[in-house]
Structures are given as structure tokens and as C-alpha cells.
Amino acid sequence: MNSEQARLIRNYERVPTTRGSQIGLLMVMGYTKLCGRPLEMCEDKQIHAVARRLYQKALDFKLPPELSSEEQLRNQRKSFLARDYRAWADNLYEIFNIQPNQRDRYSPADLEAQLLE
């Protein structure tokens, strides 16, 4: 079980009570058969037992810690700054009419200094 599967299974509030929901839980793990028989041919008790076991396994699975909201905000700011810097650099290249294949020859800082002169 990986963390994504554990999260999907944990989205169920409890072990599903309907056969269709239990089969849905099993399919999260990629189950299409039990003991060589298609899920649709298996007994309700068997489906429920496996769903209960997988649900408990998902609850016991140690998920990686979520980033705190402060860390998420800091990462978001960094990505916004990087995106804005790229947009500013592209604008500078356009102002100085520098073709994309020549842009590696000029640094945005040098172009900005020329613009300020």
C-alpha cells in the first residue's frame, strides 16, 4: 500500500457497508479477483472481510507528514516569485528584441541595468 492508496481508503468514514462500496475500496488497491474468482462472484462475507482488513491497514499506514500551512505559504511565495522572475526576464528579452535562441547570451540582470540607464 502506498500513501496515495492509504489516503483514498481513509476518505471512507468507516468500513463501507454496501457491497458496491466495499468492491470500490478493494479496487483502490487494484483487486479484481479474490482467490482466483472475480469480485462479483465472491461471497459478501469474503468481500467485507477483505475490505475491513484493507481499511484497517490504511488506518495503520504511516502517512508522510503534511507541510504546515506556513511552509505551504512559503513554498507558494517562492513559486510565485520564480514565475514572476521568468515573466520579467521574458519581457526584458522582448523589450530588447532578443530572439529565444540568443537569450542564453544575455542575463536578465544586465538587461535590467541597461534599461535603467
In tens, the pLDDT along 30-75 reads: 999 999 999 999 999 999 999 999 999 999 998 877 756 777 788 8
Q: The whole model's pTM is what?
A: 0.55
Mean pLDDT of the chain: 90
The angle, 0 to 180 degrees and rounded to 10, between the axes of the packed helices 19-28 and 44-60 is 50
Q: What is the pLDDT of residue 69?
A: 74
CA distance 63 to 108: 42
What pLDDT is recorded for position 68? 66
Cβ-proximal residues to 38 (8 Å cutoff; 6+ apart), any chain: 32
